[in-house]
Amino acid sequence: MAYLNDEKIKQLTHQANEVRQSIIEMLVEAKSGHSAGPLGMADVFTTFYFHILKHDPHNPDWEERDRLILSNGHICPVQYATMAHAGYFPIEELKTLRKLGTRLQGHPHRTSLPGLETTSGPLGSGLSQAAGMAYGLRMDEKKNWVYCLMSDAEQQIGQIWEAAMWAGNNKLGKLIGIIDRNNIQINGFTENVMPVEPLKAKWEAFNWHVQEIDGHNFEEIVNAVEEAKAIFNRPSLIIAHTIPGKGVDYMEYRYEWHGSPPGSIEPKGAPPKAEQAKKALEQLRTLGGKITSEHQ
């Protein structure tokens, strides 16, 4: 993994902002889909596809590639947008999100789009898939890394803990999990619906090496992965604290936007439905008003 200097951080910041704009545009076109999680995870996905992952958009099935598993498949707009910007398919295709018969379904469908490792839908199954891949790669004496991205609400599901226990027991040092700790789910805040804390202590009890980071800090993301790679005798977990709806002020921290696109709902404090997409894109294009069009 290359050194993360100031110029690279600037590039990642710009790229993540481009990804967020694409997320808004594709959700508006689809008139359905999830907003909060994809916007919140744009920095993590950008860091992986543009700095961390060993992959080749022109040869998605390359045997030496790292495996990235998205367990909470409903945030796939961020994966699709990042993959398109990385060169897996044309950016224009993002406008086909959730349309019947297209490659960009509402949850990732492995055989539809090159570059996807699994089909995801039922929450909680991704870690089992990732652990199986890591175990199989070890049996084949391969050195590929396996990353599994999960949501915090998924930690309420029993299958996650079966997989965590199995991976810890089998000392899968090539397996790195990342939890999007944004504290929301579709019907409220996680700690009100079904508390998941103390999250760090729970994973440590299952023999995982655990770190907590700011999921919007590129240096912390990269450093956490580097540290995880140095732990060879057990799997690692990175709890990435993120802001749901990051970059759009009326969406940030609001669980109402978990499963709703701009223009579909009008919770308290949000602009009128007809103005929501325009305002979101204006904020993202100017980084919340920090830059003007003449400086872009």
State how far the Cα of 237 lies from the Cα of 199, in Å rounded to an integer: 11
* pTM listed for this prediction: 0.96
CA angle 171, 175, 180 (to 5 degrees): 125
Whether residue 1 lies inside any domain: the answer is no
DSSP class per residue in 142-206:
----EEEEEESGGGGSHHHHHHHHHHHHTT-TTEEEEEEE--EETTEEHHHHS---SHHHHHHHT
DSSP class per residue in 223-278:
HHHHHHHT--SS-EEEEEE--TTTT-TTTTT-GGGSS--TTS---TTPPPHHHHHH
Whether residue 241 lies inside any domain: the answer is yes
Size of the chain in residues: 296
Whether residue 94 lies inside any domain: the answer is yes
- CATH number, domain containing residue 199: 3.40.50.970
With contact defined as beta carbons under 8 Å apart, do 148 and 178 qualify?
A: yes
Whether residue 69 lies inside any domain: the answer is yes
Which residue type does 188 have?
Answer: G
What pLDDT was estimated at residue 107? 96
Whether residue 114 lies inside any domain: the answer is yes
State both tokens at 133: 């891949």
DSSP state of 231: -
Which residue type does 73 have?
Answer: G
Whether residue 277 lies inside any domain: the answer is yes
Closest CA to 17 of 251, 296, 295, 285: 285
With contact defined as beta carbons under 8 Å apart, do 296 and 285 qualify?
A: yes
The boundaries of the domain holding residue 196 are 6-295
- The per-residue pLDDT string of the chain (296 residues; one tens digit each, 9 = 90 and over) reads 767 999 999 999 999 999 999 999 999 999 999 999 999 999 999 999 999 999 999 999 999 999 999 999 999 999 999 999 999 999 999 999 999 999 999 999 999 999 999 999 889 999 999 999 999 999 999 999 999 999 999 999 999 999 999 999 999 999 999 999 999 999 999 999 999 999 999 999 999 999 999 999 999 999 999 999 999 999 999 999 999 999 999 999 999 999 999 999 999 999 999 999 999 999 999 887 676 544 44
Distances (CA, A) of 198 to 36, 73, 239: 23, 24, 12
Whether residue 64 lies inside any domain: the answer is yes
Would you give the end-to-end CA distance of the chain in angstroms? 29
What pLDDT was estimated at residue 122? 87
DSSP state of 50: I
Q: What is the total count of domains within the chain?
A: 1
Which phi and psi angles does 239 have, rounded to 5°? -90, 105
Whether residue 260 lies inside any domain: the answer is yes
